[in-house]
Structure 1
Amino acid sequence: MCPTAIRRLILVPLAAASLLLAACAPHPREWKTPNMTALAPRLQPLFEKTKTVCFGRFMVDVPASASVVWGSTGVPLGVTVYHDGVEEVKGLAQKFIDELKSEQAIYLNNIPLLISVDDIRQPEGKIVTGYDGFEAIGLLKISGYFRMNSDGFIIDARPLEEQKDEVIADIQSMARRLRQRADDEAPAEPGNCLERAFLPDSPDDEKNHPGEFISIGFRLKEFPDAHLSIEVRPTPRDPERASLKAQWKRMKEPLTPEVDEVFAKVKYFRESPRHIRDWTTGYEVLMRAPDEKGVHSFHDFELRFTGVPNDPFKPYASVQLQTGVGNNAAGSTKASLTDEEAIAVWDRITSTIRVRPTSLKPVESTDTGPRLPLGELAATGRTCPQTGWWEHDAPGPTGDSRRRHFRAGERMPHTVAIGEPSIWQKLKGERPSYRTATVWKLVSYDDAPSVADVIAQPTSIAQNALPDALSNDATNTRHEAGHGVGDQSNKKG
């Protein structure tokens, strides 16, 4: 096995995701790791001036000289902002329209892939809808192109055909709420910080923004080979298997003598649980990869939290720091930070990641009177009249749990049904899903579920409409924001 292949075996699993989150206190103190490394004299000027960067629902303090590089965003639909890019966005809209017109759907009597172009007044723009691919078997691609003062922005979705109207409504809602944001602004209202923009939460959301995905990177001006990246995404279905501890354990299992020899040369600084306030316990691995032929030794630090299902303030989160990065590959150049300096930089930055304080008010409960009798019914769209466990009896196999816990005042959601696949979908190993209205029945007054009883929420229209980069668990960043050695520097459009 060649050194490059061995290097990939070591790095790829570590280069997964990025970010942390933690305390919900309005004014959290700096979080400390055990035996936090002090700043060496060479690093002290680096942290004399810092800046707070808002990303998604979170914040982090980094050196004032650090550059910020945004990666993929889905809140829950994909949003890309183009600074002073009104004309650029118009050009991309026309290019998309021309491409859809020029291609045909072979399973729909060779009609053009373009379905519709809708002009929007508020905000100014248009929404383009077309079939996603020449086979055209029920999957659409819908993109909204809008103007926001001097900036342009695009909202992308890939929904099922029966979700078309709902997704277009979601795009219009997001477009109306999106506003420009200064780089140093951290809004006090609930919502998501994006690149040069802020998306306030909608009071009409069926639930609290499922499927949120944010990735961001930082480059230290004084140490340009040091790249730190942060990523948050929904908690995976199998959190334990996705944990860094489990992944690292699998990696260290005996493979081949060649790989085992490389692992024997790895220098470990930390490999232990990491707890940050009331955040769920995560796992931290700090190591330095050895020199190989054509590859310099470099630091590879990762901190990962598997999160709490359906909690946007405690999602899956991963933070990663690598040194010796050149041309988006760790080890391409010699690391400019010593071991102690790399650990000190890591400790200083990760200790500041936190939930952004907001003026969020809890949902007002209507559950103040006598309990409603078991068997009470509530249809999709109705406000939940009684805190407790509810079940639906939708026909056919479903993609979500039939039994869920709701609090009084929440809106009763749709359910996700699994349809019969077409021949093409069977060949690809896919099964279609769609949202459907249902009637929920109150079956228990039990309190909210414990961690062990948490039930996965249904796949929402927004999740079905996630951009390709999110649905495939790939970073696919528009900029070189990069998580890990596989970062790509993709140009806009």
Structure 2
Amino acid sequence: MDDFRRRLLSGGGAGAAASILNACAGPLNMISTTKVPAPRLDDLYARTKLMCFGRYAVELPAETEQIMGPQEIAGGFKLFSRKDFMNPQQILESQWKKERSQLFREPEMITGIENGPVQNAMHFWYYRYEHAKREDRRWLDGAIAIDSRLYLYEGMTAKSVNLSADELFQRMSALMRGMRAWDGKSVPREPGVCIEGAFIHEPTYRFQEIMSSGFAFPSMPDVHFSVMSNKDASTQDENGIGLLESVRLAQRDAGVLGLLGGYPYTFLRRGKRTLHGLWEGEEVLSRSTRDQALRFEWQLVGQTGNVARPAHLDISLSTRVENNRVGAARTSAITDEQAVALWDRLLEGVKFRVAVPGATAASVALG
């Protein structure tokens, strides 16, 4: 199972692996356990806004706060704070020293730091291992300043996908040329990806993209909503197992292992659910019998490399979240009925920001 799916399906985050079931859709079984007043859905959505990440936009209540998660396009771009480094050269000097100290070999295995390929950017090349030098498999590190933020790009040539050093450099160059500062509030109307602090114009859709974002609601402080997308991930073998089958297997394992108390979730709703006439996914709405937290999941296993139907698209909502831990809060600001209504509204609000090849009209926020 690739690293993205492993992180997502681990029990530590939203508990996705153990909060999904079989394809038989069951009736709603609401058991409210809290009496803390929560805002009515109509009041919560009286004012809304679009919030962006990657190629996506989500319609959310105006009060929503965004927490950007892991983001990557074609190997970049890792965000650094100006508190850590003042300019691209400092980032690369740190990277250069790290790689040079690990090489312990001849100087020609690593180049010096060079300017470019665009203004406010620098880069260097290196061979990570001796056999990589023999195979001419090189690594490229580049850094760029965009407004008040600094970003690191890391890439590697690969004969397996016919990516030469020149092609890798041109790839990084094109992405850097397409970068501009982004305030996180405006909604770009051109093809590309929104990352923290920057927008990257990218109309070819040919690169790997891993994008994620979380969302919090001040009026419901224990409720967290998140979306993750991995365009080019594998869907083979274990990576192709859907949400409903994952739960069936988890239930089976709980029985085989003889876990005390059995499978630790009850279900409010489960089954297949297609969004926007495009994403033929599956959902499971569950409650933990251990901490009473709600864990709602929707997942799509799509097609590797298909921007309209990414290999993995995963959406979740959790309650009783405190200090970034699901189940840590002793009470919740939302009832089961309110959570299901909110989930349905949030889920339908996840769309592409602008059209991508293969998208339906209903799946695009800015038509």
Report the TM-score, using the length of structure 1 for normalisation: 0.58
Please report how far the alpha carbon of residue 8 of structure 1 lies from its aligned counterpart in structure 2 after TM superposition. 6.3
SS of the aligned residue for 1:101 comes to helix
Which residue of the partner structure matches residue 288 of structure 2? 289
Determine if the alignment matches structure 1 residue 302 to structure 2 residue 297: yes
Cα deviation 1:20-60 (Å, max 9, x = unaligned) = xxxxxxxxxxxxxx99x9x9754544332222012222210
1:305-356 residue CA offsets vs partner (Å, 9 max, x unmatched): 1123432021121101112223332112224122222222211211111122
Change (3 A) 1:242 1:210: farther
Cα 1:101–1:210, aligned 2, differ >3 Å: closer, same or farther? closer
- Pairwise mapping of residues 212-223 of structure 1 onto structure 2 (< 5 A)? 212-223=209-220
Name the structure 1 match of 2:144: 146
Distance 1:273 1:113, change over 3 A: same
CA shift in 2, pair 1:132/1:226, >3 Å? farther
**C-alpha offsets along residues 43-84 of structure 1, whole Å, 9 cap, x if unaligned?**
544332222012222210122222211122222222134576
**3-state SS, counterpart of residue 343 of structure 1:** helix
1:357 aligns with 2:354: yes
TM-align CA RMSD: 3.4
**Mapping 1:215-254, distance limit 5 Å:** 215-234=212-231, 236-238=234-236, 241-253=240-252, 254=255
8 A Cα contact 1:227 1:325, kept in partner: yes
Are residues 322 and 89 of structure 1, via their aligned partners in 2, closer, same or farther at CA, if it must alter by over 3 Å?
farther
Specify the code of the residue in structure 1 equivalent to 2:52: C
Structure 1 segment 362-381 matched on structure 2, within 5 A: none
Equivalent residue, structure 2, for 1:114: 110
Instruction: Tell me the CA shift for residue 186 of structure 1.
Output: 2.1
**CA–CA separation in structure 1 for the residues paired with 2:224 and 2:13:** 20
User: Which residue does the alignment assign to 1:94?
Assistant: 93
The equivalent residue for 2:153 is: 155
For the residues of structure 2 that align with 1:329 and 1:177, how far apart are their CA atoms? 37
Give the Cα–Cα distance (whole angstroms) in 1 for the partners of residues 279 and 357 of structure 2. Answer: 23
Q: CA offset at residue 10 of structure 1?
A: 9.9
How far has the Cα of 1:249 moved from its partner? 1.5
Q: For 1:90 and 1:154, how far apart are their aligned partners in 2? A: 11
Identity of aligned residues (%): 22
Gaps of 5+ in 1: 1-5, 17-33, 363-493
Matching residue of 1:55: 53
Q: Which amino acid aligns with 2:294?
A: H
Q: Mark the runs of 5 or more structure 2 residues left unpaired by the alignment.
A: 1-9, 21-26, 31-36, 359-367
From 338, 344, 367, the equivalent of 2:341 is 344
8 Å CA contact retained: 2:299, 2:315: yes
The aligned counterpart of 2:75 is: 77
* Higher share in strand: 2
Query: By how many angstroms is 1:290 displaced?
Result: 1.1
**Alignment match, 2:200:** 199
Distance 1:282 1:335, change over 3 A: farther
* Contact residue 13 and residue 326 of structure 2 kept, 8 A: no
Distance 1:354 1:9, change over 3 A: closer
Q: Distance in 1 between matches of 2:99 and 2:217?
A: 42
Compute the TM-score of the two structures, normalised by the length of structure 2. 0.76
Asked if 1 retains the 8 angstrom alpha-carbon contact of 2:299 and 2:313, the reply is: yes
Structure of greater relative contact order (alpha carbons < 8 Å, 6+ residues apart): 2
Larger radius of gyration: 1
Question: Which amino acid letter does the alignment assign opposite residue 262 of structure 2?
Answer: V
In the alignment, the residues of structure 2 paired with residue 329 and residue 269 of structure 1 have an alpha-carbon distance, to the nearest angstrom, of 22
Q: Which residue of 1 aligns with 2:120?
A: 124
**Distance (whole Å) between structure 1 residues aligned to residue 304 and residue 235 of structure 2:** 8
1:238 Cα deviation from its structure 2 partner? 2.6
- Partners in 2 of 1:273 and 1:14 — Cα distance? 17
Aligned to 2:15: 11
Structure 1 residue 121: Cα displacement: 6.0
- Name 1:262's counterpart in structure 2: 262
- Would the aligned equivalents of 1:210 and 1:312 in 2 still touch at CA under 8 Å? no
Change (3 A) 1:77 1:243: same
Residues 15 and 175 of structure 1, relative CA distance in 2, 3 Å threshold? farther
For residues 215-264 of structure 1, give each alpha carbon's deviation from its aligned partner in whole angstroms, at most 9, with x where no partner exists.
111122222222211111125333883311221121111322225x332x
Matched residue, 1:468: none
Q: Which moved more, 1:90-99 or 1:234-243?
A: 234-243
Q: Is the 8 A contact 1:100 1:113 kept in 2?
A: no
| Number of the residue aligned with 2:323 | 327
- Matched residue type, 1:55: F
